[in-house]
Structure formats: C-alpha cells, structure tokens
Structure 1
Amino acid sequence: MNNYFNPNSVYTEEDFKHRFRMRRHVFECLLRDVPQVNPYFRQKLDRTGRLGFSPYQKVTIALRMMAYGSPANSMDETHSMYESTCLNTLQQFCDTIVQVHKDEYLREPNQEDLNRFLRKAEDRGFPGMIGSLDCMH
C-alpha cells in the first residue's frame, strides 16, 4: 500500500505504469468496478476472524499473474496468498472483467470499428488489411 497507493507513495506514476502494465487510473477503475460486481473481491473476515485479503491485494495478484505470467505458487512468497487462492482470484477476476466489459470491448466489430481499423492499418503501411490471424498466407 505504501509503495503504490498512498498519497505519498514510494513509486511514481511511471513506476506504477511499468510495474502494473497500465496507468493508475485504469487500475482504480478496475478496483472500483470489480468489487461492486463480484462480492469475492470485497474484504471479509476469514474463518479465524481476521480480515481477509483486500480488493487491492486480489486485483494486484490477478494483474501480476497476467502481466508477468507469474505462476500462482510464486505469489505465496511475495504476497502471502496460497496457490489455490491465487488461481481462484485470477479466475474470478477474468470472469468479472468479461461480465463487466463484454458489451463494450468483447463484441464483434461494427462498420465504424472496421473503418477505424482500416485507417489505422493504412497509416502504418498496410492498406486494406484488417488483421492477420494465421500469418501463413
């Protein structure tokens, strides 16, 4: 928390972007949206009566595993979260992101999208190319 999320955090915005592979405001949007949609990300008491992992910890774990390809068992050493909990957190995070953002980002492109893609490809020297899926032809 002191390193990244407090007002006088140790690391700069650029450090945050480098470590999390996104800008802080994107992370904060995820942190706001994910716990609202999925109760798994809300901090609760565990079976021993202690506070469980915070939304910051759970979202950070999921993003680190995706951004760096970190195995779940490596999170135990750095974040004190067991492998099974990490895997469950990653699954819950991915399912929630799809649920929240599928209509905007996970849909078939419409004509406006295709025109934008074609313009962007043309600007990069690939006129008439929307994308190459197999790179074989």
Structure 2
Amino acid sequence: MTVALWILAYGVTANFMDEYVRIAKSIAMMSLKKFVATVVAIFSEEYLRSPNNEDIAKLLAHGQNRGFPSMSGSIDCMHWKWKNCPAAWKGMYCGHIREPTIILEAVASYDLWICHSFFGLPRSNNDINVLERSHIFFELAQGRTPTVNYSINGHDYTMGYYLANGIYPKWLTFVKTILAPLGQKRKLFAKAQEAYMKDVERAFGVL
C-alpha cells in the first residue's frame, strides 16, 4: 500500500522505493498494478464512468429543486502543480507563479461526483483553449444526449447546461453569473449562480 500510494501521489519511479522502504522495483510495480486494478474493480461501476440516464435524471431533478431546471453541474478549470516536470518543458507549463502546472477541466455535481474530466494541457492555455480541445460536448455533437425541455422567460430550450464563470463563451450550454447586477432580481440570480458554482470548487478542494 505504501509503495502504491507513494508512486501515485508523488510521481516517483519504482526504483525510488528501494531506497525508501527497501522494496525491489519488480515488487513495487506489482503492488502498484494490483492497487490500481482493485480501485477500478471496486469503483468503476459507480464512479469511473460517464453519467447514465438514471444519473442524469437525478442531476436534473436536483438542479430543478435548486432553481436551475435542467442544470447538469458546474464546470471550471484548476491548475495542478507538476512537481517533477522535465526542465525542457517548464517554459510551456509555467505561468506568472513560475511553477509548472497542468490544467484539469472538470464538471462536478452537488455531491462532488466529477462526471467529466479533461486533464493534461499546459498552463500556457486558458479555460477557452481547454474547452476547445475538450470532449465535453462530444455526445451532444453526436446527438446522443437525453432530450430535456424547459422554459425560461418565455423561451423554450431542449438541452441541459452547466453553470460556468465569466470567461466561458455565451453558449446555450453555459449559464454564467451577472457582473455588477442591478436590481433585486438580478442580484438574487447572481447570488444563487455563484453559490452553486462552488460545487466544482469544493471538488477541486477535495482533490
């Protein structure tokens, strides 16, 4: 267990474990493979998959109860520090904080289930660049997403959406907050949207 967790958490090589816990490379690799296989066997059926129709219905119902009909979750990006980034790549993976990071795009639900993730682009990209390379709307483009119907302000819609921050484009699949809202109605909407956007922030915090 110690060998597997060290390799996964710190990105060290199997040879490193020989110096730390006196375990040979072959045993370290075998332990890592068994650990990963066990995680997949236990959690893949419920967590390591895309949402099915039952999951989507549950997400949409919860969004309805929170005042956002047909909401599928919150989307955002975070920067994951890459401690062992090769020196030749640091220029591409560094930003203003001068530490190499990798971008993770994720959609998280109210119960911290990450139902979409796209990981690996360097820090030199922003959220829009990540979105353009992400596969988040692949099912939508193929016409395989479940049909939803709801009406807001007299307009009828037939697809779900994600709560997003201000950098995301003005697409029907994103609902963003209102900057500098004027009036009680707009202030109430902005407060609710920003509160529920914290679902994905909480998921990042747990990670």
Question: TM-score normalised to the size of structure 1?
Answer: 0.44
Q: Which has the higher contact order (CA 8 A, sep 6+)?
A: 2
Q: Report the structure, 1 or 2, having the larger helix content.
A: 1
Question: TM-score normalised to the size of structure 2?
Answer: 0.30
Q: Report the structure, 1 or 2, having the larger strand content.
A: 2
